[in-house]
Chain A
Amino acid sequence: MRTRTWAPYALIAPTLLLMAVFLVYPIASVGWFSLRQHTVTQPWKNGFIGFENFRRMLFEDQLFWQSLAFSAKWVVVEVGLQLVLGLVLALIVNETFVGRALARSLVFSPWAVSGVLTTGIWILLYNPSTGIFQQLAQWGIGDPGTSVLGDPATVFPATVVTELWRGVPFFAILLLADLQTIPNDLYEAASVDGAGRWRRFISVTLPHLRDAIVLSTLLRAVWEFNNVDLIYTLTGGGPANQTTTLPLYVARKAVDSHDFGYGSALTMAGFVILLFFSILYLRLSKFGSRA
């Protein structure tokens, strides 16, 4: 139906308008703000300062590098674990068994829970006086009064597990959807050729899932990089900025100190890193090259 009518343009017009105002314009304005001193609480100091924000960020701001390093660690650990566990979960609920529909609804359900609510739930679970570790201690497992979120040694794993609870279903859903598109005769042919379960997984399942894995890990990596809700409410970036990610640092600059100029420079840094990473990842993984 190749047409030369105005119809398709009219149909996408609302989307274009919203994107222009709330996505394109903000990016442009972040670029502009990043070259300015702009603090809401000190408007008399506002003005154009060139690359001063970037100089400060790169050479004087310890927390920038620290938060960037933590962001990288966070993304790699989260996406890696979510992918592996999500794939295992998808394979499990792709089998036929009694109560499968219910099992799927249950194991996927944390995906619908917000970051703040996840924090609320896990604070109840982690709390030192009436939490799960206290309960376990009563049964003789571990020490009573363990505060996993307050202890610098355990705050990272505790935060990772919390985010896994909500993040694994994302991969499981996407990969399950893709698993269901694998033609059954591929498996049968492999079986006839004498391939065992593991062999079939390696030579039929994984190659088929390849594009879905590349796409979901990339989307998830960007999403986890930008994830603020959970860390903001669970640890607030602490203890001692140990769990501060770059976006959390930006959000704190914006919300707490209203330093829009410097916050914008940090945002630009995040953009450039994400863009570079995404292009590199798609290139290296040869996305979409599957025959």
Chain B
Amino acid sequence: MTQTLTRPETPVSPPPPAPPRRKKHRDPSRFFRLHLPLAFYLLFTLIPFYWMLVFALRPAGETALVPWPITFEHFDTVWNGIGFGLFFQNSLIIGVGTLVVVTVFALMGGYALARFKFRGQRVFLLALLCTQFIPGAMMLIPLFVIFKSAGLLNSLTGLIIADTAFQLPLALILMSGFVRNVPVELEEAAMVDGCSRLRAFFAVTLPQLRPALVAVGSFAFIGAWNNFLFALMFASKQDKFTLPVGLSYALGEFNTDFGALAAGGVVAAVPVVLVFAVVQRFLVQGLSAGAVKG
């Protein structure tokens, strides 16, 4: 008996404070300031997508709002007939190429900005910011001249280079914010343990940057996939068309064939919308963590 009495009393942890019961679900104002506007905005966002999907899956000439049975004839027309299969391939090459180059260069430059102090750093940062004010559309004329003399017209490589040049500055600024958020002490500890800076980077910092790589890479991909003017201006041969250029011709030529236009639109939309749905979370987190504030 004494044994049990002298035994040090295990402190009974107090019961966790009951979570404050928020009556938010019974708050009637929530319906008017949250659910109703959200419902309206969802309709505004989704009806256009739905309209495209209906046209793409509905046999020509019908007007049913819910098409059944569905048809894939329009996809066959655009993919095999008009050549969207090839355009898709071109867009994919440009998108992935730009993704790789932008991500690697942004990682290098972002690391330099975040981890070193060097002469000209402020000027470099200012120059990066200034590029955001340079309009791609207004650069068409001199870029065309450069591309022509460099033999980069009608080449997918040329488009990758142009897309990279215009996306790299912002990607680099974003990336430097992400690198800055990785504690430098981890890297320094690894270097004290005998790692070279390069090995410390690959072993310690790079794994932490995975979300950053996903975010920056996806945005480079989406930007390149969607670029229209460069592709229109620098790749005028049909075998080098990208999806936006193909679509723009479909807008003109097949003005009455809405089914084909819609199917082409679905082909162009699906990859980027899927990629974006996955990465938007990383983007909000990344921007939130201070990446925008540089």
Question: Interface of A with B (CB < 8 Å)?
Answer: 1-3, 7-9, 11-12, 14-16, 18-19, 21-23, 25-27, 29-30, 33, 88-89, 92-93, 95-97, 101, 103-117, 119-125, 127, 130-132, 135, 165, 173-174, 176-178, 180-181, 212, 215, 219, 222, 225-229, 233, 247-248, 250-251, 254-255, 260, 263-264, 267, 270-271, 274-275, 278
| B186 at the binding interface (Cβ < 8 Å) | no
B276-294 at interface with A (beta carbon < 8 Å): 276-277, 280-281, 283-288, 290, 292
Q: Which residue of B lies closest to A275 (CB)?
A: B133
Total B residues in contact with A, Cβ cutoff 8 Å: 94
* A165 B45 Cβ-Cβ under 8 A: yes
Q: Which residue of B lies closest to A3 (CB)?
A: B116
For the A-B complex with A15-B105, A177-B284 known, give 16 more contacts whose Cβ atoms are closer than 8 Å.
Answer: A16-B124, A18-B168, A19-B169, A92-B34, A104-B281, A112-B272, A117-B265, A120-B52, A120-B262, A124-B261, A125-B51, A131-B51, A227-B137, A228-B229, A264-B142, A274-B135
Question: Interface of B with A (CB < 8 Å)?
Answer: 24, 34-35, 37-38, 41-42, 44-49, 51-52, 55, 63, 65, 105-106, 108-109, 111-113, 115-118, 121, 124, 127, 131-146, 161-162, 164-166, 168-169, 172, 184, 197, 222, 225-229, 232-233, 244-245, 247-248, 250-251, 258, 261-262, 264-265, 268-269, 272-273, 275-277, 280-281, 283-288, 290, 292
* A264 B45 Cβ-Cβ under 8 A: no
Prevailing SS type, chain B contact patch: helix
Given A33-B141, A107-B42, A115–B146 Cβ distance below 8 Å? no
A22 to B152 Cα, complex, angstroms: 13
State how many angstroms separate the Cβ of A26 from the closest Cβ of chain B: 4
State how many angstroms separate the Cβ of B125 from the closest Cβ of chain A: 10
**Within the complex, which residue of B116, B136, B292 is in contact with A8, where a contact is CB–CB below 8 Å?**
B116
How many A-B pairs have beta carbons closer than 8 Å: the answer is: 264
Given A92-B38, A112-B275, A112-B276, A125–B143 Cβ distance below 8 Å? no
30 interchain pairs, CB-CB under 8 A: A1-B184, A2-B117, A8-B116, A14-B109, A15-B168, A26-B142, A88-B37, A106-B42, A107-B38, A107-B41, A108-B280, A109-B45, A109-B49, A114-B228, A114-B244, A117-B247, A120-B247, A122-B48, A123-B251, A124-B48, A124-B261, A125-B51, A130-B63, A165-B48, A180-B288, A222-B135, A226-B138, A254-B140, A264-B142, A267-B138
A2 to B272 Cα, complex, angstroms: 41
Kindly name the residue among A110, A120, A219, A270 whose own CB sees the greatest number of chain B CB atoms within 10 A.
Answer: A120
* B232 A103 Cβ-Cβ under 8 A: no
Q: What are the 5 A-B residue pairs with the smallest beta carbon separation, nearest first?
A: A114-B226, A177-B287, A226-B135, A22-B165, A26-B142
* B51 A263 Cβ-Cβ under 8 A: no
* B164 A18 Cβ-Cβ under 8 A: yes
Given A212-B292, A263-B141, A124–B42 Cβ distance below 8 Å? no
State how many angstroms separate the Cβ of B186 from the closest Cβ of chain A: 13
Kindly name the residue among A21, A130, A222, A263 whose own CB sees the greatest number of chain B CB atoms within 10 A.
Answer: A130
